[in-house]
Amino acid sequence: MEIRQLFIGESPPLHLLLLADPSKEMVEDYLGKGICFVAERDKQILGVYVLLQKGTDMMEIKNIAVDEKHHGKGIGRQLIGHAIGYAREQGYKLMEIGTGNSSIGQLALYQKCGFRIVGVDRDFFTKHYSEALYENGIQCRDMVRLSRNI
Q: Which residues bind ligand ACO (CB under 6 A)?
A: 19-20, 61, 63-66, 71-77, 97-99, 103-106, 108-109, 112, 136-137
φ, ψ for residue 4 (rounded to 5)? -145, 160
Identify any residues that bridge with 64 across adjacent strands, giving them in sequence order: 49
The smaller minimum CB distance to ligand ACO, of residues 73 and 127, is found at 73
Say how far residue 65 (Cα) sits from the centre of its chain. Answer: 7
Three-state SS across 67-111?
A: CHHHCCCCHHHHHHHHHHHHHHHCCCCEEEEEEECCCHHHHHHHH
Cβ-closest residue to ligand ACO?
76
Minimum distance from CB of 87 to ligand ACO (Å)?
14
The smaller minimum CB distance to ligand ACO, of residues 9 and 32, is found at 32
The smaller minimum CB distance to ligand ACO, of residues 77 and 122, is found at 77
Torsion of CA 96, 31, 37, 120, to 10 degrees: 20
Minimum distance from CB of 101 to ligand ACO (Å)?
12
The smaller minimum CB distance to ligand ACO, of residues 43 and 69, is found at 69
